[in-house]
Chains A and B, each alone.
Chain A
């Protein structure tokens, strides 16, 4: 029971963090057709910016400044980089963002060094929030939950209640139509790209000190975000939300399972000490999302809730 409740809590926290990353990517991908390979790099920039800004101003100012800064960089990248490549097609755009991811990682290594940096949880939140069955639950995770949910609500309101949100929603499902409505498509693209990157930056600010802040954090997170977007489906923020929680819970539970292949398939004659028998379920946890990615693309290319195939 105890493990279960904590796993659910951790899974949801991780899942919401994933959603913060993947919501931006889904917006960008569905509207512009750009599968932004560098999306997780903006997540990384968020964490590093928060570390540097936070050193001068404290965590709470950095919580706002860092995502804005990342968003501005994202908008600039769209304006002066991606837009130029756009005419050469989606594969060229993918290659551009691939190169960008490469570049950002190298720049981070040069500016902040190759090792992880001591980006710490603010002292205020560095304690238990509550105690269940004698185990402390960290306050910072509650804070992460709160930020994620706030962001979720804000995004929802932005999309449902504002004019810009309505245009974005229309562009999500019918990207070709928006131009006919007389809207400045390049500007919308730039804004959405900026907002998407800003959200990734926010995820970095609150995720970097929870997980780890090092130059490989983008590389570790990037493919998983793709998985979420693909599983969720093209054009569907709701799908991305479900997929984020699914992946979050799946990975958290897989890590918590203390079984090996022998425990599962021993009845079929699999030896406990054979190479396959010794594989533990928890060691497979990092592989599960990719297995899902490949299976979804093979079996259901539109994802869980997508309105069209890729």
Chain B
């Protein structure tokens, strides 16, 4: 019996599966392989490496929040513990060819560290979902971070511990091919990051297709019902928690090799909050959501912070807007846009959306002027915000016109658009 003959009864066809499940990964791999061909600068390579780490971290977080419905405020604990374990092992790895291979394999160690931490901490955490789970994760994150500052011999105190990923060896030739891959230069690290990002992404996607992965979503939607088809919701949550801890540890192992330093800050509440932002802003109901979130936020982090001191404020605003108006995240917006273009009646719908986007952008202009003027005013260095050469000091009326008018206009237009939609 061929698969196509069975298809109406047993599920999507093989070609549909290829299109929806295999093709996106091939495209992802192609992008990863193509990037070095453009000869990116060191800055870009550094950025790409951070993106890879954050993609893995955010995807692992989504295993909890998106798939199992568990809101964690302490996911960096597993990232950090996996990373620390990798750091300690990196120091123990000898020089030489096998040393390089060992460093390359460190994310496996990170996985083990994160998974073991997940197994230990998950046991008391996963009995309840919802708010109690969130609170326990918060408490444990505080405890682990405080403990990390106390146990200096393991965590290195404030300075953390640093290592050296380069396990030097003379270039060797295998079959006439000279191997010169020492993990030292950023370009080598890029391949390391790309390899593990791709592998971890594939594995985490595969996880969603397993019985456990499917049941974790069932438990999220309806734990009571899941119990009445034979599954123990606590057990499902616990196993998913371990897996999520393990993949966070993979990210930690990648970070250990990439940054060559780990500090107790890495497992504190701040990175735990950042991974929540990445996953949620990207969109936790779409597998690609956290990837998008990680790419966008990592890019914002490195480029916005150079332009404006207020980038964290913009980040917070973005997050609140997403929570309030687009709970499916950026991926949800993209998906709706794609649907809006292809579905019938596209022209008037797109027109409406374009109108609303313009209105939102107008309001945003006002907000940006307000924030930037305020930042410079409070900086106290007598700086003035000069967009396009137009100076906007805090005490000139023109400034406040440029703040008030766009905000009022934009909000009015948005409100009009909203009421216009009502039937």
Among B136, B142, B312, B380, point to the contact of A106 (Cβ < 8 A).
Answer: B312
For chain A, which range describes its interface: under 10, 10 to 19, 20 to 34, or 35 or more residues?
A: 35 or more
Is A226's CB under 8 angstroms from B135's CB?
Answer: yes
Name 23 A/B residue pairs within 8 A (Cβ), A-sorted: A35-B131, A35-B135, A81-B324, A92-B327, A94-B71, A98-B276, A99-B319, A106-B313, A110-B309, A111-B374, A227-B139, A275-B151, A287-B143, A290-B143, A293-B135, A293-B138, A293-B139, A294-B140, A294-B143, A298-B124, A298-B127, A298-B136, A310-B135
B128 on the A face (CB < 8 A) = yes
Within 8 A of B (CB), among A285-303: 286-287, 290-291, 293-294, 297-298, 301
A164 within 8 A of B: no
- Does the CB pair A310–B146 fall under 8 Å? no
Which single residue of chain B is at the shortest CB-CB distance from A230?
B135
Q: Judge whether B401 is part of the interface by a CB distance below 8 angstroms.
A: no
Interface size class of B (residues with CB under 8 A): 35 or more
- What's the nearest-Cβ distance from chain B to residue A130, in Å? 36
Contact digits for B105-146, partner A, Cβ 8 Å, 1 yes 0 no: 000000000000000000010011011101110111011001
User: Provided the pairs A85-B323, A85-B324, A275-B151 are in contact, do residues A94 and B134 lie with their beta carbons within 8 angstroms?
Assistant: yes
The number of residue pairs between A and B whose CB atoms lie closer than 8 Å in the complex comes to 111
A95 to B153, CA, bound (A): 36
Are B323's CB and A95's CB within 8 A?
yes
Q: Does B150 contact A (CB under 8 A)?
A: yes
Asked, given contacts A95-B323, A100-B320, A103-B320, whether A297 binds B312 with beta carbons under 8 Å apart, the answer is no
Contact residues, B289-339 vs A (CB, 8 A)? 309-310, 312-313, 315-317, 319-320, 323-324, 327
**Bound CA span A165–B142, Å:** 36
Chain A residues in 8 Å Cβ range of B147: 287
Q: Report the separation of the CA atoms of residues A84 and B312 in the bound assembly, to the nearest whole angstrom.
A: 24
Taking A96-B324, A223-B142, A290-B142 as given, write out 11 further A-B residue pairs in contact, using a Cβ cutoff of 8 Å, ordered by the A residue number. A90-B130, A94-B134, A99-B316, A110-B309, A112-B378, A226-B135, A226-B138, A294-B139, A294-B140, A294-B143, A301-B128
What is the 8 Å Cβ interface bit string for chain A, positions 191-234, against chain B (1 contact, 0 not)? 00000000000000000000000000001000100110010000
Indicate if the CB atoms of B371 and A110 lie closer than 8 Å. yes
Q: What 10 pairs across the A-B complex have the smallest Cβ distances?
A: A103-B316, A106-B313, A293-B139, A102-B316, A99-B319, A294-B139, A99-B320, A290-B142, A290-B139, A310-B132
CA distance A92 to B276 in the complex (A): 12
CB-contacts of B170-194 with A (<8 A) = none
Q: How far is the CB of A288 from chain B (nearest CB, A)?
A: 10
Give bound CA distance, A291 to B124, whole Å.
13
The closest CB in chain B to the CB of A96 belongs to B323
Complexed CA–CA distance, A106 and B152 (Å): 32
